[in-house]
Structure 1
């Protein structure tokens, strides 16, 4: 377990594509390594954090990424874990808890009291994993809206 390095970016992008396929989502953009390089090592560095799990003979088998966010309801910052993914065949071997430990240590290092994340409701393996760690779920749906669309129409 270690922090990602610039040379890891193509591997992380490949894992992100596997993660998207696993969650039946659209693939990440083709220039994801360049985008991640800017976020992790460029002018915006420091906000996004990425950890990788590496096996000597296999290479990078998983990753976890996180960034601080705000909760108006709590009036506090928390660390949002955007992704935690392990390549098929490497789940259930104790690597996931090590990635979670790295994310929790990052929260503590930033002076944050909580880590939050989401997983699809059909991902029962992930839900069992998180519940075994002692995590509790908050039921919500996540929405997104493109910022380049026009102003919202007012009801008539």
Structure 2
């Protein structure tokens, strides 16, 4: 298994894995992303996201897509893991653990304060996996989101 930075040629497979993740998360029609949009976000003039892939035998088995966040209290960046996904047939072989370990090394090497992410409450297999790695849920916090008409209304304030 190899963990490496994503390349432009990986974009179509990463997008397919994003679709697979949406299906797993019970939102099969929610993905609006395109190859062009994802490629621009990863490799355009002003990249806003980063991705690493887990590869075995030349086949991408999973990916981690992330971006930088910032802790005003710590005064340093952190990594926000937007998506971590491993193909069902490749699960249990260490791909997810290797991807998270790689992100943790990036954070440690760069002096970042943390690696954090969200997980759906019902996703017990992932929750157990994360807890086995030493990750802990953040109690006392709720995720809020502005989207659709609420976003448009807030933008008009």
Tell me if TM exceeds 0.5.
Answer: yes
Q: Which runs of 4+ in 1 moved over 6 A?
A: none
Are 1:23 and 2:21 matched, yes or no? no
Matching residue of 1:61: 61
Once the two structures are superposed, residues 17-41 of structure 1 have per-residue CA deviations (whole angstroms, 9 ceiling, x without a partner) of: 000111112432152x211211211
Name the CA distance, whole Å, in 2 between partners of 1:34 and 1:10.
9
Once the two structures are superposed, residues 104-131 of structure 1 have per-residue CA deviations (whole angstroms, 9 ceiling, x without a partner) of: 1222343202101111011111011101
- Give the match's secondary structure for 2:84: strand
Give the superposition deviation at 1:86: 0.5
Name the CA distance, whole Å, in 2 between partners of 1:6 and 1:29.
19
Are 1:122 and 2:125 matched, yes or no? no
List alignment gaps of at least 5 residues for structure 2. none
Are 1:4 and 2:3 matched, yes or no? no
Give the superposition deviation at 1:151: 4.2
Q: CA RMSD in A?
A: 2.3
Name the CA distance, whole Å, in 2 between partners of 1:81 and 1:105.
14
Matching residue of 1:135: 135
TM-score normalised to structure 1 length: 0.85
Name the CA distance, whole Å, in 2 between partners of 1:66 and 1:30.
16
Are 1:144 and 2:150 matched, yes or no? no
List alignment gaps of at least 5 residues for structure 1. none
Task: Rate the CA distance shift 1:30–1:39 in 2: closer, same or farther, 3 A.
Answer: closer
Name the CA distance, whole Å, in 1 between partners of 2:143 and 2:113.
23
- Give the match's secondary structure for 1:52: strand
> Do 2:76 and 2:111's aligned partners in 1 also have CA atoms closer than 8 Å?
no
Matching residue of 1:96: 96
Matching residue of 2:50: 49
Are 1:80 and 2:80 matched, yes or no? yes
Name the CA distance, whole Å, in 1 between partners of 2:76 and 2:117.
16
Give the superposition deviation at 1:103: 1.0
Name the CA distance, whole Å, in 2 between partners of 1:84 and 1:41.
19
